[in-house]
Amino acid sequence: MGMSKSSLAFLVLVFAFFVCYVMSSGSYDYFQFVQQWPPTNCILRTKCSKPRPLQNFTIHGLWPSNYSNPKMPSNCIGSRFNFTKVSPRLRSKLKISWPDVESGNDTKFWEGEWNKHGTCSERTLNQMQYFQRSHEMWNFHNITEILRNASIVPHATHTWKYSDIVSPIQTAIKRTPLLRCKPRPKSQTKSQPKSQAMSQLLHEVVLCFDYDALVIIDCNRTAGCWNNVDILFP
């Protein structure tokens, strides 16, 4: 006895709703914890919150990600950002670890990151936990210090190989990070020697964490810095 057409249609509809629900409420494999180098933001943007950008890596975001597409999921259904859910004590710490280095509006930056990324892992980390965990990761994995200890410090002209920068971080955290770069703006590369004109700017250092955002794991080398192009750490 076959299933009637209407029952089949009903089942298909239920399945479609289920898939939509899973996608919109966020299904992810691991976390990318992204720290950024503020001077690079300032070179790339006309707007910069401070005349002299901060000289330490700060948080860009904690992004639940999929191995098949690390830019997903995003903008999931979930609670909207509510800054009262983040304690005043934590908020004052985040002003140091997670400042808005572009417009200076920290709360708005946190709101954007929570709504775009945090909502997709809300079943693992609620708002307070999401920001708390990010701050702890930043505190525990001090990229600026790791690089400084390896004599990798900002310089106007000196360039590095990808492995020069990755190696000391790998040694310190015992896992492989991912570096992300941005092409140098044309205005910066005019009248430069060819070797420097071909360089890229170090922008972000990504550390990867397991599904629960507790255990650090190796990052896959996905879109990041160009291969075989020297890296400027401005």
User: What residues make contact with ligand 5GP under the rule CB under 6 A?
Assistant: 36, 41, 60-61, 100-103, 109, 113, 116
Nearer to ligand 5GP, 111 or 164 (CB): 111
Q: Please list the residues that pair with 178 across neighbouring strands.
A: 206
Nearest distance from C-beta of residue 99 to ligand 5GP, angstroms: 7
Contact between 216 and 173 (Cβ < 8 Å): yes
Nearest distance from C-beta of residue 3 to ligand 5GP, angstroms: 44
Is position 113 annotated as part of the catalytic site? Answer: yes
Rg over CA atoms, the chain: 21
Is position 111 annotated as part of the catalytic site? Answer: no
How far lies 125's CA from each of 8, 64, 224, in Å? 37, 11, 27
Nearest distance from C-beta of residue 42 to ligand 5GP, angstroms: 10
Q: Strands (DSSP E) along the chain, which ranges?
A: 30-36, 58-65, 159-160, 178-183, 200-209, 216-217, 231-232
Contact between 123 and 129 (Cβ < 8 Å): no
Nearer to ligand 5GP, 36 or 134 (CB): 36
Residue 211: CB partners within 8 Å, gap ≥ 6? 28, 29, 30, 31, 124
Nearest distance from C-beta of residue 33 to ligand 5GP, angstroms: 12
Q: Please list the residues that pair with 46 across neighbouring strands.
A: none
Is position 60 annotated as part of the catalytic site? Answer: yes
Catalytic residue among 102, 111, 113, 135: 113
The residues annotated with a catalytic role in the active site are: 60, 113, 117
